[in-house]
Structure 1
Amino acid sequence: MSTPLEHYALLSDLRTGPLVSRDGSIDWLCLPRFDSPAVFSAILGDAEDGRWKLSVPDGEVVERRYLPQTFVLETVWRSRTGRVRVTDFLPPSTSQGDLVRRVECLEGQVRVEHDLRLRFDYARATPWTREIERDGQERCLLALAGPDAILITGPMLHWPGNGDGGGEDDDGSAASVAEHPGTQPAEGRRAPRLVGSFNLDAGDVLDWDLTWFSSYRDVPEPPDADRALASTVRFWTDWASHLQVDSDHQDLVLRSLLVLRALTHLDTGGIVAAPTASLPEYFGGGRNWDYRYTWLRDAALTIEVAIAHGLTRGATLWRDWLLRAVAGDADEVKIMYGLGGERELTETELEHLDGYENSRPVRVGNGAADQYQADVVGEVMIALHELREAGVAENEYTWGLQKSLLAYCEANFDRQDHGIWEMRGDTHYFTHGRAMMWAAFDRGLRAVEEHGYDGPAERWRDLRDRLADEIEEHGFDAELNAYTQTYDNTEVDASLLQLPHTGYLAYDDPRMLGTVERIEQDLVTSEGLVYRYRTEAGMDGLEGEEYPFVMCTFWLVEQYANSGRLDRAREVMDHMVAQASDLGLLAEQYDPETGRQAGNFPQAFSHMGLIRAADAIQAAAEDR
């Protein structure tokens, strides 16, 4: 069985996001960016596909936590002879990619072992590795493959020798820190595996650093571990000090806001939907997608939750990324972009990887980037409206691009789309998408009428009203007393839970309550978990199933809280947050039968949903 996703911790330097398992194995790491080819891909295969395991071979993990309000991970191991603490972190302050692993012996004597397998380009390239000297005295390891290079500093790891089991000498005894010289292969030999075994006494501290840099650059200076740790803690806690959180689930809301920050690229401001690729929506199935890109929808929803929690400046940075990405492309808006605004995200399959829980194909890139999704501009316009309401003024550039987005909406007014869930079947008029288009024109109109910006107000009002008439005629089934997934079917869809959020109708409108009742009948489990739609209806053009969707479950909580069903909202909320990992992380989906998280991890959508649901419950409780 693959390592359960809830056993992984996320690290972040706001450029990349490795995953560290509970037993000390870094099984996923992309360098230098979230969307770069992976150096460690074991999560999508096995150890031979790349990992860095640092563990106590005869010990067990007795404690694991983030330092408060940071992504500095502490893991405490206990063996028969003592205890050690492993501290893993990525310093955001360095220009190159650095991953620091510190081991401190807390009591007694403990042996720690390394098993490092570098595999560049999703395990398609094993680097050439050799020992070098830095500053004429310090020995370290340099691994090269094409444009990528990695420097390993710290107590020397070595190539396994004859009879070496990976962390022991040929005679089977553990080597001390000072005694282990390493077994260096002939110059230029490929090194598929590096190992090391180190005994520590109480008070001993050992540091290792993995530094990525471009192979055609000079070997960089690795960070000083003490200073890097202090600056990393300071970076995260300074950012968290600006957050405004008041909730019964305060710790999880705070962690969720930190996750959104952790998934935001420091230099570009783009937020990835998740730091991972191809983790399955159903174990053993083929619904496996690369989420290491920035969706306009995700950026927009992030702006909303940022504003709600006092991060107006951060929301402005996300807005600026969004507008840069769209600039020059307003006539053919993409639904997603690369972290820097790249438009080419070609989807390919990695046939050499077995996949998480044997779920194939393993995909990188995302073909949905070329889809038309009618809802996207509406979500963007709602978020930018909230930013205006928070007092952030527009300028000619920001407002001009919004007018261009509305012109794009008008040009595609009669166009069918693939829907919010990026279905790969036929296009349709999705009710949610049409309502979001209604919201786009509504917010444009309000910018003119309430804030005094220029624009064709009467034209936008006419288009908005035409959409409202159309939705009521074709998207609402009076006999069922419910809105429907598309204009040409009678299915329901969890995206309909967002209709009140657009302002199209009230949460307690009888039409909305009827829609919720249908969703409860068709898409909701007894615990309140929500499926996106009925896959068996055959709408999405894909084979197989998927598990309940975490964000949609939080949307239902939000609906309950805003329509007078606060007790039920709390009940479902408590059940859902109980499925978060011990570190407060949530994946895209949740399998109620096995109790395991599924899909890409951690998922920005899920954490946005948690924040909004908690806010809705808090507001409803205060209004009682």
Structure 2
Amino acid sequence: MIPPATEKPSLDLAMIGNCSFAALVDKMARIVWCCLPRFDGDPVFHSLLGTRGEVGDGAFAIELEGAVRSEQHYQENTAVVVTRLHDASGNAIEITDFAPRFQTKGRMFRPTAIVRRVRPIAGHPRIRVRCRPRFAYGARDPETTFGSNHVRWVGNGQTLRLTTNAPVTYVRDEIPFLLDAPVSFYLGPDESLTRHPEALCGEFEEETARYWRLWTRRLGLPLEYQDAVIRAAITLKLCTFEETGAIVAAVTTSIPEAADSGRNWDYRYCWLRDAFFVVRALNSLSEMETMENYLRYINNIASMTNGDHVQPLYGIALEKTLVEDQVDLPGYRGMGPVRIGNQAYEHFQHDVYGNIVLAASQAFFDKRLLRQPGVDDFARLEVIGERAFAMHDQPDAGLWELRTRARVHTSSSLMCWAACDRLARIAPTFGLEARAEIWRERAERIRATILEQGWNEKVGAFVESFGGHDLDASLLLIAEVGFLPPRDPRFIATVERIGEKLRRGNHLFRYHAADDFGAPENAFNICTFWYIDALARIGRTEEARDIYETMLSCRNHVGLLSEDTSPGTGEMWGNFPQTYSMVGIINGAVRLSARWEDVV
């Protein structure tokens, strides 16, 4: 039997969106998470984190009576999700979900709207529609009104309108009815549609699918693992907020990193670190638009800071203050708290300066960009570099955002080095040889400091903080950012020590020392992908491929990954879908794939 709505939730979810908002659809075709009007907005559908009311609140379900089996997939090379539900008597329906996105009238059309198209595909199915948005994180039941072709939900500063060619009374009162012809549902702002819902939604589906197929067609794909790479690339694109160029770390909040761990965080914001890795992964596939848009965002960040402290994260519209609070929802599987905002905005995380410069550096060499960066852009980055040089040997909260202690983290110093190193490389493109020499000298000073204080002879590896003795998976980035060549004995030794201490089966933990919440319980997916990359760089390619294929097997049924994986069960934990993890899928494929010229 198909599990009922009371079954504990899982991360077997598909994501739809259009680069302005996103929604998550479970295997039963229930929309269980959707924040409006944008990624960090009010979750009008929030049943993934429970509800304050009765079962079914905070979700948009289209139910087949007596359903016993479901199938779900994406239309090939698109962000359009198809779910089929079957009952024991041979009746079946197909539900197609998407958020419209396509070019029209010389601009991108991406309304804050969800389209759901339902059609009978076998027998004489009976369905029930339960659309129950709630407002103020589930605290407020909306006022409901209706017309001849729509139902409206009013509350908390926004109104949603569901327009349909299904009988409105059946929809409003949740009455089961025989589905004898296709019906469509358009859920969006309180605006009247000018055309029949079935015709309009059909056209929107065709145009949206075409947009995504043309977008995918432009990707420079590796020879192997193409399906995984395409799905990862589309997912990363869906996590961009196109209006400003921001990139969210995930579309959810408070999915715990491990059961009952209290490690519940709100990831619906733009971490400059995570965004850099997204830009870098998409660049490797020749998808330049995301970088161009993100450069607009970080240029705004740089202009706001005036050479002072840069936060590790900002809101998707440049908000600086993201006060962390809790709301009265039960949480994922009842595992609260549910947090909104993120205290990390108050942190000092010095790797952020390197992440900004690294994200921008390709633009100074890539002639494909519509807007070529100039000397003013370089000068703005130099201000970031000045801060990187000043902070390279100062304590911070580190990459993993420790909340109760500060150290001089080796990975933070490494990224400060990367900022200075890349500025030294960019300066000659403008004939600024004197500036290049200054940045080279600064990079060398940081390099000498890391080699002296970040290396622990007794451990036989680089360690997580200057003068420390613990290992940290972020040190696997030493070769990726070019600090040492991959075959340098010190890097090889660090990879080996990390594998010995942090590897559990084919998964890698961030670190082994206890933190503010105790010892980590689950593996952090991006660390496993960093390990895969490092193994391949030092020549252990078959081992890297084996671990990579293990990670592919940990994806859910539609190819998505969350933040963390249980090494024992393979179950996904942490916010979803995690851009870091989807980045790893792309990077691993690019690193490990056979070359096109070997077979073509």
Q: TM-score, normalised by structure 1?
A: 0.88
Matched, 1:148 2:158: yes
**Residue 139 and residue 275 in structure 1: after superposition, are their counterparts in 2 closer, same or farther (change >3 A)?**
same
Distance 2:165 2:374 in 1: 55
Q: What's the offset of the Cα at 1:117?
A: 1.8
> Equivalents in 2 of 1:545, 1:246: separation in Å?
34
Counterpart CA distance in 1 for 2:156 and 2:71 is: 40
- For residues 204-232 of structure 1, the C-alpha deviation after alignment (integer angstroms, 9 at most, x for no partner) is 1011121135xxxx656686211111121
- CA separation in 2, counterparts of 1:367 and 1:49? 29
2:319 pairs with 342, 348, 354, which one?
342
Q: 1:75 aligns with which of 46, 59, 83?
A: 83
Structure 1 counterpart of 2:309: 332
Tell me the alpha carbon deviations over residues 119-165 of structure 1, each in whole angstroms, 9 at most, x when there is no partner: 1121021111112x3xxxx3421111131101122156xxxxxxxxx
Q: Report the Cα distance in structure 2 between the residues aligned to 1:615 and 1:123, rounded to whole angstroms.
A: 43
Distance 2:520 2:499 in 1: 19
Q: Taking structure 1 as reference, are residues 622 and 576 closer, same or farther at Cα in structure 2, changes over 3 Å only?
A: farther
Q: 1:547 aligns with which of 488, 508, 522?
A: 522
Aligned partners of 1:92, 1:147: CA distance in 2, in Å? Answer: 25
Identify the residue that residue 206 of structure 1 maps to in structure 2.
Answer: 183
Query: 2:65 matched to 1:65?
Result: no
Alignment check: 8 A CA contact 2:396 2:408 kept: yes
Following the alignment from structure 1 to structure 2, what is the Cα–Cα distance between the partners of residues 355 and 334? 28
Gaps of 5+ in 2: 1-6, 103-108
- Distance of 2:571 and 2:392 partners within structure 1: 41
Alignment match of 1:300 (pick from 265, 272, 276)? 276
Shift of 1:552: 0.8
Written as runs of structure 1 = structure 2, the 5 A alignment for 1:369-380 is 369-380=345-356
Residues 417-437 of structure 1 deviation map (CA, whole Å, 9 limit, x = unaligned): 111111112111111111111
Aligned to 1:533: 511
Residues 451-500 of structure 1: CA deviation (Å, up to 9, x unaligned): 53476334323322221111111110122220001113201000001011
Separation of aligned partners in 2, 1:454 and 1:619: 39
Task: State the Cα distance separating 1:345 from its structure 2 match.
Answer: 1.2
Instruction: Determine whether 1:469 maps to 2:448.
Output: yes
Query: What displacement does 1:265 show?
Result: 1.5
Q: Structure 2 vs 1, CA of residues 572 and 183 (structure 1 numbering), >3 Å: closer, same or farther?
A: closer
Amino acid at match of 1:388: F
Q: Partner residue of 2:360?
A: 384
- Aligned AA (1:101): R
Q: Select the residue among 480, 483, 491 that pairs with 1:501.
A: 480
Indicate the residue corresponding to 1:187 in structure 2: none
Q: Does the CA-based 8 Å contact 2:261-2:517 persist in structure 1?
A: no
Q: What fraction of aligned residue pairs are identical, expressed as a percent?
A: 31
- Pick closer, same or farther for the CA change 1:141–1:454 going to 2, 3 Å: farther
Query: What is the aligned-residue RMSD (CA, Å)?
Result: 2.3
Query: In terms of mean alpha carbon deviation, does 426-435 or 90-99 score higher?
Result: 90-99
SS in 2 for 1:130: strand
2:467 and 2:455 mapped to 1: Cα distance? 11
The one-letter code of the counterpart of 1:533 is: Y
2:112 is matched with which residue: 91, 94, 97? Answer: 97
The offset of 1:441, in angstroms, is 0.5
1:232 equivalent in alignment to 2:208:
yes
The residue that corresponds to 2:571 in the other structure is 596
In the alignment, what sits opposite 1:169?
none
Do the aligned partners of residues 337 and 453 (structure 1) sit closer, same or farther apart at CA in structure 2, a change above 3 Å counting? Answer: farther
Tell me how far apart the structure 2 counterparts of residues 241 and 457 of structure 1 sit (CA, whole Å): 39
Determine the C-alpha separation between the residues in 1 that align with 2:136 and 2:263.
22
Which amino acid letter does the alignment assign opposite residue 440 of structure 2?
A: R
Mapping 1:444-483, distance limit 5 Å: 444-449=423-428, 452-453=431-432, 456-483=435-462
Q: Deviations over 1:385-417 (max 9, x none)?
A: 233333354213321210111122234344211
Q: Are residues 1:523 and 2:502 paired?
A: yes
- 1:554 positional shift: 0.8
Larger Rg: 1
Contact 1:561-1:617 within 8 A present in 2 as well:
yes
The answer as to whether partners of 2:331 and 2:338 remain within 8 angstroms in 1 is yes
Structure 2 residue 580 is matched with structure 1 residue 611: no
* SS of aligned partner of 2:458: coil
2:56–2:130 contact (8 Å) kept in structure 1: no
Change (3 A) 1:89 1:183: closer
Conservation of the 8 A alpha-carbon contact between 1:551 and 1:610:
no
Using the TM superposition, give the Cα deviation of residue 541 of structure 1 relative to its aligned residue in structure 2, in angstroms.
2.2
Instruction: Describe the shift of the 1:72–1:580 C-alpha distance in structure 2 as closer, same or farther (beyond 3 A).
Output: same
Corresponding residue for residue 395 of structure 2: 416
Show CA shifts across 1:35-90 (max 9, x none): 10110111111445511111212123342111111111111122214221111111
**2:319 pairs with 1:311:** no
Runs of 4+ in structure 1 off by over 6 angstroms are 619-623
Amino acid at match of 2:133: L
Indicate yes or no: 2:393 matched with 1:399.
no
Letter in 2 for 1:588: E
1:425 aligns with 2:425: no
| 2-structure distance, mates of 1:465, 1:619 | 36
- Three-state SS of the structure 2 residue aligned to 1:558 is helix
Distance change >3 Å, CA 339–CA 38, structure 1 → 2: same
Q: Is the 8 A contact 2:424 2:438 kept in 1?
A: no
Tell me which amino acid in the other structure corresponds to 1:605: Y
Question: 2:463: which partner in 1?
Answer: 484
Quote the residue 1:366 is aligned against: 342
Q: Aligned residue pairs: how many?
A: 576
Distance in 2 (alpha carbons) for counterparts of 1:270 and 1:515: 34
Deviations 1:214-265 (A, max 9, x none): xxxx656686211111121122112112111023211101111111111111
The aligned residue for residue 265 of structure 2 is 289
Greater Cα offset, 280-289 or 140-149: 140-149
Could you tell me how far apart the structure 2 residues matched to 1:89 and 1:208 are?
11
The worse-fitting range, judged by mean Cα deviation, of 605-614 and 352-361 is 352-361
The residue type equivalent to 2:254 in the other structure is: S
> How far apart in 2 are the matches of 1:481 and 1:505?
16
- Note if contact 2:65-2:125 (Cα within 8 Å) is conserved in structure 1: no
Report the residue type matching 2:593 in the other structure. Q
Partner SS for 1:102: strand
Task: Say if 1:548 and 1:589, in contact at 8 Å, map to a contact too.
Answer: yes
Give the direction of change, closer, same or farther, for the CA distance of 1:149–1:418 in structure 2 (3 Å limit).
same
Q: Judge which range, 62-71 or 582-591, deviates more.
A: 62-71
Judged with a 3 Å threshold, the aligned counterparts in structure 2 of structure 1 residues 183 and 361 are, in CA distance, closer, same or farther, namely closer
Q: Which residue of 1 aligns with 2:538?
A: 563
Partners in 2 of 1:270 and 1:28 — Cα distance?
Answer: 21
Corresponding position: 1:3 with 2:3: no
Amino acid aligned to 2:162: I
Q: Is the 8 A contact 1:4 1:596 kept in 2?
A: no
Deviates more, 1:54-63 or 1:229-238: 54-63
1:125 to 116, 125, 140: 140
Amino acid at match of 2:95: V
> Deviation at 1:106?
1.5
**Which residues in structure 2 correspond to 1:33-52 (within 5 Å)?**
33-46=38-51, 47=55, 49-52=57-60
Residues 1:23 and 2:28 are matched in the alignment: yes
Q: Does the 8 A contact of 2:396 with 2:406 survive in 1?
A: yes
Distance 2:84 2:248 in 1: 30
Contact 1:312–1:390 (Cα < 8 Å) also in 2: no
In structure 2, what is the equivalent of residue 253 of structure 1?
Answer: 229
Tell me the residue number matched to 1:174. none
**Cα 1:266/1:499, change in 2 over 3 Å:** same
Task: Verify the 8 A CA contact 1:270 1:340 in the aligned structure 2.
Answer: yes
Deviates more, 1:111-120 or 1:362-371: 111-120
CA distance in 2, matches of 1:51, 1:394: 45
Stretch of structure 1 that moved more, 298-307 or 280-289? 298-307
SS in 2 for 1:420: coil
